[in-house]
Each structure stands twice: as structure tokens, then as C-alpha cells.
Structure 1
Amino acid sequence: MSIVSTRRPRIVVVGSIVFDCVAKADRLPRKGETVLGRSFGMFSGGKGANQAVQAARLGAEVYMVGRVGQDSLADHVLKNLKAGGVDTRYIKQDPSVATGACGIHVDAAGDNTIVIVPEANLACSPEDVDAAREVLASADILLCQFEIAMPTVAYALDVAAELGVRVVLNPAPAQPASTGLCSRATVLTPNETEAELLAGVPLPSGESNARASSDWEIEVSSRLLGMGPQAVVITLGNRGAYLANGAGGRLIPAYQVSPVDVTAAGDAFNGALAVAMAESREMTQAIAFANAAGALATTRAGSQPSLATRREVEDFLRNAVVVS
């Protein structure tokens, strides 16, 4: 008689927690220009927090490690994390720093520019990771980004390696000095801009969104694999995601949607990918699932409010049409 485990996937996120201020306008302002906006909203955000909420909405047991201040913004973001199903016991409230904040401009096509002020996120320390060591030891996936202090990211990756926990590393925002951390990832998930910076290979002008499996993707993924991760997944916006591993490389196409706000698409993708990997899905299937979550996130405004539930993702996939 076989015994089937009913335990939910367990994911630990070590990352950023930010209060987002989102201004929408018909177009993004040029340097030195003021444009008239159409709407303004305030939301909980931060790459780490967004990815944690996405994973929780997809049914995972999610623990967040991070720091916020002792201020009204912290009250807001912690309330939203808890409402999203994230366990916040390992988030430290630090009275010496302010909660991180972010300014986001979104145009009519859903494209954006983002400026983040990390504040408390840079105070997140190895001691915070150690406080969560017990739950990390039983995790299926550690999910990290680059919006907190880099020594803390490095320490979290070392602890994961020590404990035998797989790592999804989203190298955002990418930094040239961060290439050494890529070797510690099970799966490395840069977008095009981040992949360009990490690999040192410029995007081909006018071609990056026109070719399904370009020479650029092949060269960049090869260089990134050479840094040591088991797999590289380059997210390509409305084209999908390019997977490269020991078996070669291939494009997993995106799904057709009408985007409203792409702010949280990458975070939705990473949270969903972590869940799919924790559920032992084959990698191309995991990426297709993550593509669906990312696509749905572009159809709603805001960061965490745009993140879909498992039922929504599964319903979407029943009738989804891939981009040709």
C-alpha cells in the first residue's frame, strides 16, 4: 500500500518587502518632463513579498524572511502579507530604519519604470536567516532576489546548500558583482535586461522581441550556465521564457492576454515557478505554469492585487492560447 503525502509545498522566501506608490499615465515622462497622470494607487510590494504572496495563492506553505520598520507602512505591508497567506513570523520590525518604498510609473500599454528605496531591506541580516533555519531545513525551495543586502543573500544560499535545499534565484535587480552567486542557484531566472548585464552580452537592437530562439538567447544562456546553475530561465516578456540546461535550450511560449500593468509579471512567474518545482513538475511544464501566472498578473493593476490564485491559473490554462 503506497502512502501519498498531502503536505503542501513549503517555500521560504528571503527577500524584500516594499510599499509601492503607482502612478499611471498615457505615456512615461522623458527626462526632465512632467506628464499628467490618470490614476494613483498605493499597494504592498517588493520582489520578495510579491513572490511570496504568489506562491501562497497557488497553495504553497510560505514563510517570509525580511525586515521592515516600525511605521505605518510596515503595518500595511505586514497586514497584506498575512492576508495573502504568508507566514510573517520571521519578518523583523526594526525601529532604527524605515520600511522600504518604491515609485512606479505605468503607461497606457502597461509598461513601467521603477525606482526602489530599500531602507529596512538592506538591514536584513544573516542573523535573520539563522532565525528561520529550522523551517528552511524542511523547505522544498528557497526563493531569493537581489533587493536586500547581498551578503545576506549569499548567506541564505550557503545555508540552503548546507541543508540540501533547492534554490530559485531571481537576480533582480542585477549587479555585476553578483555573478559569483549564480553558481549557488538550482535555477537562475533573469529577465532580458538582467541576463544582458550578468552575461555581458548586449541585446541585439531591434531583434530581441522578434526572433523566437535567437542567437543572443543561446549565447547568453550558455554563459550563464557556465557560472554554475543547473538551469537558466530567461523571461522574455510577451514572448515567454527561454529554458537552458544540460539537455539544451528551448523557448516556452507566453500566453495571449491584453496587458494592463506588467509590474508584477516577473514576480508572479518566479513565485509560480517555485511552486511548480516544489510539486516536482517537469521543467517545461513548470515554466508553462509560471507563464500562465505571469500572464494573468499583467491583466490587473497593482503588484500583489494582480496575483492569481491556483484556481484562476488552472481555469486560464484550460482555454489559453500561446503567442505564435
Structure 2
Amino acid sequence: MNKIAVIGSNMVDLITYIDRMPRQGETLEAPGFAMGCGGKGANQAVAAAKLGADVLMLSKVGDDVFADNTLANFQRFGIDTQYVNRVPGVSSGVAPIFVQSDSHNSILIVKGANAHLKPADIDAAQAALRDCALIVVQLEIDLATVYYAIEFGKRNGIPVLLNPAPAVAGLSPAHLAQLDFLIPNESELALISGLTVDSPESAAIAARQLVADGIRHVIVTLGEHGALYVGEEGEFRVDGLSVAARDTTGAGDAFIGCFARNWTQDRDIRRAMTQAVGYSACSVTGLGTQTSYPDAEAFAAFLKTV
């Protein structure tokens, strides 16, 4: 049983490539624009599916022109969409993204239909969820639904992975303690732990605190510096890969999707992290979010070049 359930968001990415952000009241010409499918939940589901995972998606789409495209995109990658439902009279989620020439990005999020994904939707899908090896959640949906997903996984003996992004202050310690995996970046780890995180060493200190509070495995993504593990299997680092980054949008989601795919295969955390670091690095060499995610064959070819 290796199926992955992703309970989370989908967005339409509206990507503008810029030289710099305009100042207040200023209008600038931008060199490029692209539109694509995104959203943290959808990105993670697509990354896992592109690598060959069997993925079940729980999400909501709006009552607009974007919904059909989002559903077709999921289905193109073989993702099970029986629990991706439309919300009448509501827009789909959108994410205007501004990518600068140095590859760094700024993102706005309009949740739209994603805010309508509720605990009752998890109950409606409970039979299918019980056949899954891992539940993956993020924070672009209602927090009550995230907590309910964690509780559902705990009750049914299904490991739950939380990617606490976008960062939210004041997450419930009782729910965090029920997690099997927490995978934050450095800023998210600082917000959750209340500690300063500005180096791998300080990240380890903050991660140890969360493990002491009950989380089984904390994996901190460190961007180009790789990833750090603290948990039941001790502590270790996976080094990053040196690549020429073009667009870092969606790199964290690439990490999560690849990690989920690999961990559900053999439960080897170190191997899954190593693959995820490589997959994330590969993704930043392309443009966009899901469009930058390689399939298994392209990823294997990339690894031979680094």
C-alpha cells in the first residue's frame, strides 16, 4: 500500500517575470508572463505523480473558467480526482507570482474555493484515505481541516506529513505533536519554534525542541544548502546540489512531493531526503512550478549531470 493522499490547495499561477518590483505608485514594463497550474497541494501531488506515485487528491475548485483546466491537469498526471469538487458561485484559487531576474520570487495567494475544503470532505473520503500510506497537508486550506486531517491520520494509523506553508503563527502544539513528519523551511521553523533560525546549527536546535514536544521526524529544507533531519533516527544533513537557478518557485513543493514518493516506497528517510534535495535542485533550473518538475526519466538523467 503506497498510495499518497494530498489534502490541500490548488491554484492558478499567474506568473510575471520582472527586473524588480515597482515602487508604490510606479508602473513598470515586465519582460514576460505565463499562466499555469499551481497551489501547494496540487504542486506536491503533481511532483509525486510525475515520479510514478499513485496519488489521491482532496481539494476544491471554483465555479469559473479555471476549474476545468485544473481538473484536466490533475487527470493528465493520473491523479485521482474523485474528491476534487466544485464550489458554486466561488472563484478558484489564484496565485499572482512575481519572479525577479535573480530567480527570487514574491507571491500573493487568493484562496478562493480552497477555503471551502472542510472536515466533512475528509469524512466523505474516509474509505479511500484508509487505503493510503501517507497523508500530506499544507496550510493553504482552512486550519480546522488541517487539524482534522492530522486527527484522522492518528485515529487510523496513517502517517501524516505537514508542510507548514505558507507560514502561520500559533499552530496547535497538541496537533503538531501528533505528526509523523513536519517539513518546514528555516523561516517556518523559526515561527513554529519561537527560536531564531539563521544557520543549520540553529535550525537543529529548533528542530530538537519540536521533536522533544512529540513530533517524530522534523526535516528542515535549507534551500541550496540541502536539508537537515532531526528525529527518532538521530540527526544528519543531506548536502545541496550546485545548479544554475532560473526560478525557485515551487521548489519546496517539489521536495515534499519527491520525499513522499520515495518514503512510501521503502520507508528510508535518508534516501527519500537525498532524492528530494536533488529533485528540488532540478526544479529550480526550469521555469514555473509544475512545468519545472521532471518525470522519473528526466530526473534520473539530471542526476547523472551533477
> Mapping of 1:128-207 within 5 angstroms?
128-180=121-173, 181-204=175-198
1:167-196 CA-partner distances (Å, limit 9, x unpaired) = 111011121222423212211000111111
Question: Any stretches of 5+ residues in structure 2 without a counterpart?
Answer: none
Distance in 1 (alpha carbons) for counterparts of 2:139 and 2:281: 23
Report the 3-state secondary structure (helix = DSSP H, G, I; strand = E; otherwise coil) of the residue aligned with 2:170: helix
Match of residue 17 from structure 1 = 10
Task: Please give the root-mean-square deviation of Cα atoms over the aligned residues, in Å.
Answer: 1.5
CA contact (8 A) 1:53 1:85 kept: no
Answer yes or no: is 1:237 the counterpart of 2:230: no
Which residue of structure 2 aligns with residue 4 of structure 1? none
Q: What is the rounded CA distance, in whole Å, between the counterparts of 1:89 and 1:319 in structure 2?
A: 39
Q: Larger deviation: 176-185 or 79-88?
A: 176-185
Partners of 1:60 and 1:311 lie apart in 2 by 14
Mapped to 2, the partners of 1:172 and 1:318 lie a distance apart of: 31
Question: After the TM superposition, which parts of structure 1 deviate over 6 Å for at least 4 consecutive aligned residues?
Answer: none
Residue 308 of structure 1 pairs with residue 301 of structure 2: no
Equivalent residue pairs, number: 305
1:225-264 CA-to-partner distances (Å, cap 9, x unmatched) read 2332111011111111111113432221111211111111
The corresponding residue for 1:106 is 99
Query: Is residue 30 of structure 2 the alignment partner of residue 37 of structure 1?
Result: yes
Q: Are 2:304 and 1:318 equivalent residues in the alignment? A: yes
Residue of structure 2 aligned with 1:268, choices 254, 275, 278: 254
How has the CA–CA distance of structure 1 residues 194 and 29 changed in structure 2, closer, same or farther, with 3 Å as cutoff?
Answer: farther
Counterpart AA for 2:304: R
Change beyond 3 A, Cα 1:302–1:125: same
The offset of 1:81, in angstroms, is 1.3
Say if 2:71 is the partner of 1:85.
no
CA–CA distance in 2 between the matches of 1:318 and 1:163? 40
Alignment of 1:225-304 (within 5 A): 225-304=211-290
User: Structure 1 residues 37, 277: CA separation in 2 closer, same or farther (over 3 Å shift)?
Assistant: same
The sequence identity of aligned pairs, in percent, is 36
Q: What does the per-residue CA deviation read over 1:262-283, in whole Å, with 9 as the maximum and x for residues that have no partner? A: 1110001000111111012421
Deviation at 1:27, TM superposition (A): 2.9
Report the residue type matching 1:182 in the other structure.
Answer: L
AA partner of residue 215 (structure 2): P
Contact 1:179 1:198 in 2 (8 A): no
In structure 2, distance between residues paired with 1:27 and 1:85: 38
CA contact (8 A) 1:265 1:297 kept: yes
Alpha-carbon distance in 1 for matches of 2:146, 2:223: 26
Instruction: Name the CA distance, whole Å, in 1 between partners of 2:251 and 2:82.
Output: 26
Q: Aligned equivalents of 2:233 and 2:80: distance in 1?
A: 37
Taking the TM superposition and a 5 Å limit, the aligned residue runs for 1:51-130 are 51-130=44-123
Q: 1:20 & 1:80 partners in 2: Cα distance? A: 13
Q: 1-side partners of 2:172 and 2:213: how far apart?
A: 7
Note closer, same or farther for the CA distance 1:268–1:126 as it changes in structure 2 (3 Å cut): same
Contact 1:24-1:37 at 8 Å conserved across structures? yes
Q: TM-score if structure 1 supplies the norm length?
A: 0.90
The amino acid that maps onto 1:47 is K
Check the 8 A contact 1:43/1:302 in 2, yes or no.
yes
Q: What one-letter code is carried by the residue in structure 1 that aligns with 2:232? A: G
Shift of 1:34: 4.1
Q: Per the alignment, in what secondary structure is the counterpart of residue 188 of structure 2?
A: helix
